[in-house]
């Protein structure tokens, strides 16, 4: 089992906020690998290779955590993340008097 501290350190290495989407995780990983990959890095091969290993390890740890995370599909959770338009439609429905066809 992975500890909170390990996951948090991986998150920090990847430059992620406390709440991140899968797209943000992948984008930060790609950005960091673009900077530190030995073929592109100008910091010296040894340092670049070490950073690459750390980034890959952190990414794998975060992805493994995400794969075992239990997502909520409750109405309450879904509505918490719904777009304003969806909330409006849920509350008032589609009615031509609202200008919604």
81 pLDDT tier (thresholds 50, 70, 90): confident
If you ran DSSP here, which 8-state letter would residue 97 be given? Answer: G
Give the domain 4-70 fold. Helix Hairpins (1.10.287)
pLDDT of residue 11: 97
23-27-36 Cα angle (round to 5):
155
Predicted TM-score of the model (pTM): 0.73
Q: Alpha-carbon distance 101 to 93, whole Å?
A: 10
Lowest mean pLDDT among 49-58, 62-71, 85-94: 85-94
14 pLDDT tier (thresholds 50, 70, 90): very high
Query: Domain residues of the chain, as ranges?
Result: 4-70
DSSP assignment of 52-88, as one string? HHHHHHHHHHHHHHHHH------HHHHHHT--HHHHH
């Amino acid at each position: 089992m992975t500890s909170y501290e390990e996951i948090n350190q991986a998150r920090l290495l990847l430059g992620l906020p406390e709440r991140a989407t899968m797209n943000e995780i992948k984008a930060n990983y790609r950005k960091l690998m673009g900077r530190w990959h030995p073929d592109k890095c100008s910091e010296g091969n040894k340092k670049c290779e070490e950073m690459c290993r750390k980034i890959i390890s952190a990414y794998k740890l975060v992805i493994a955590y995400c794969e075992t995370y239990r997502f909520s599909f409750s109405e309450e959770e879904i509505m918490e993340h719904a777009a304003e338009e969806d909330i409006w439609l849920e509350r008032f429905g589609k009615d031509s008097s609202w200008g919604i066809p």
